[in-house]
Amino acid sequence: MTGPALSPLGLALRRKDRDRFQTALFAPPGQREALFALYAFNYEIARVPEVTREPLLGQIRLQWWRDALDEIYRGAPPRRHEVAEPLARAIAEHDLTQAHFAAMLEARERDLAAEPPATLEALEAYADGSSASLVLLALEALGVRGGESEVAGRSVGIAYALSGLLAAMRFHAGMKRLYLPQDMIADQKIDPERSVFALKSTPALKECAQEIAALARYHLGVAQAQRRAVPKAALPALLPAIIAERRLERLEKLDYDVLDPRASLADTRQSLRLAWAAWRGRY
């Protein structure tokens, strides 16, 4: 984890995305800037629903990034932007796959919709597009493509996203955003206004959270089953699995009460957990 002083991009990422910043530090110094650029791009598009309540304005922001990426891939000079310029360098240096960026932007556009995902499968697909695509790009930046690494990366991304959505439910409720699948809401007869948005937990809500957590655990199992075949170089991109596992452990201890403020508390020992996992070559 030693290396040169942090760049302005790295310093900004440390403030904005603690999780991914910490995992990126385990990459070789020459590859960290590419990871910083990817994670900064993710932050830019993930926060769109938080900085604007108007879907049209959100779509305009996302379209700006679509156009910026199209220009980069056509070979045009990158737009003058603190993230676009280093992202263009990362794309050129590591031949990053444009389709992964497109999947991320498509998933973030779904964030602008008022209604929750229709089914658990739709929520899983959202996690795939928004988070797994980012892990696959990180693997490419580390020089790892295809095979068991891609299988592991996709599942790590989905598990990280699902566990994160559960931990952030109270935060999202404050913005009247809900990621519980509509079929679960209907089956469990959940009234979001009286439960989630009122920050009042119910047995039905806990049951839904437990089912989503089970899916996240399944994906962690899929990822971990690939360990022996995944090269050591892939590890920094897969370390979010450690964070996801810790979130799920905490939720289990809270009896899946996703509205408990403790569900979203920062793990004060996270950097140590990541260092221990990296030293052991585990994720």
pLDDT digits (tens, 9 = 90+) for 215-262: 999 999 999 999 999 999 999 999 999 999 999 999 999 999 999 999
* Residue 115 domain-assigned (yes or no): yes
Q: Decide if 70 is inside a domain.
A: yes
Considering the domain boundaries, does residue 4 fall inside one? no
Q: What is the pLDDT of residue 81?
A: 96
pLDDT (0 to 100) of residue 10:
97
Tell me, yes or no, whether 252 lies in a domain.
Answer: yes
- The size of the chain, in residues, is 283
Residue 33's pLDDT is what? Answer: 97
pLDDT in tens, the chain (283 residues): 445 689 999 999 999 999 999 999 999 999 999 999 999 999 999 999 888 888 999 999 999 999 999 999 999 999 999 999 999 999 999 999 999 999 999 999 999 988 999 999 999 999 999 999 999 999 999 999 999 999 999 999 999 999 999 999 999 999 999 999 999 999 999 999 999 999 999 999 999 999 999 999 999 999 999 999 999 999 999 999 999 999 999 999 999 999 999 999 999 999 999 999 999 999 9
1 inside domain: no
pLDDT the model gives residue 52: 85
Nearest to 85 by CA among 21, 17, 36: 36
**pLDDT at residue 5, as a whole number:** 84
Residue 2 lies in a domain: no
Q: What is the pLDDT of residue 34?
A: 98
CATH number of the structural domain spanning residue 55: 1.10.600.10
pLDDT score at 53 = 80
Average pLDDT over the chain, rounded to whole?
96
| pLDDT for 4 | 66
Q: What is the pLDDT of residue 3?
A: 53
The pLDDT of residue 114 is 83
Q: Which domain holds residue 258?
A: 9-280
Residue 3 lies in a domain: no
Q: How many domains does the chain have?
A: 1
